[in-house]
Amino acid sequence: MQDPFKGFNDDDQNNQNGNGPQGLPLPPNYATVVNADGNMRIAKVGFSWTMLFFPPFPTIFRGDWYNLLCILGIELSVSMLLVMTVNVNQLAQITSVFQPVLGLVWGSLYNMMYFKHLFNRGFVPADDRSRDLLMQAHYWSQPKEK
């Protein structure tokens, strides 16, 4: 099968970016994690553009209900705080500034939140490349020996 990422970032002459499911190549900024049951998750490491432009959909598509409820709870709490403290005439202006700022916050944090939740559920990096990528992004640290 032809590598769809060849030429885009052609520093991978020996397929160092690992193989995904069915032998498909993974983009360089994607990591693979697995749990003891053999369940595999593949996700991007870094900024989430889909959370910036389409806020709740990445959590829904990934079945990440925990982080969806956390994000909705924080947004609801902040919105209630704004409604209680800000004058009604200024609320539309503040909301128009507030929503893009929240989009940047969720875009910056969501992929890290997703991986951290997976690690709490028993997932670990599937290969050395994923482990190195997750450690470089500070999403995962080597477990301490007991």
**In 1-146, beta strands by DSSP E:** 30-34, 40-44, 124-125
Structure tokens at 87: 């004058």
Structural domain harbouring 66: 21-136
In eight-state DSSP terms, residue 56 is: T
What type of residue is 141? S
pLDDT, tens digit, 9 for 90 and up, residues 18-53: 566 777 788 889 999 999 998 999 999 999 999 999
Q: What is the mean pLDDT of residues 2-28?
A: 62
Q: How large a percentage of the chain has pLDDT more than 90? A: 55
Do the domain assignments include residue 16? no
The verdict on residue 2 lying in a domain is no
**Considering the entire predicted model, what is its pTM?**
0.80
What are the tens digits of pLDDT across the range 70-124? 999 999 998 899 889 888 888 888 888 888 899 999 999 999 999 999 999 999 9
- Residue 12: partners with Cβ closer than 8 Å, 6 or more residues away: 5, 28
Stronger pLDDT, 129 or 88, i.e. the higher one: 129
In a domain, 13, yes or no: no
Main-chain phi, psi angles of 113, to 5 degrees = -60, -40
Task: Decide if 121 is inside a domain.
Answer: yes
The domain tally of the chain equals 1
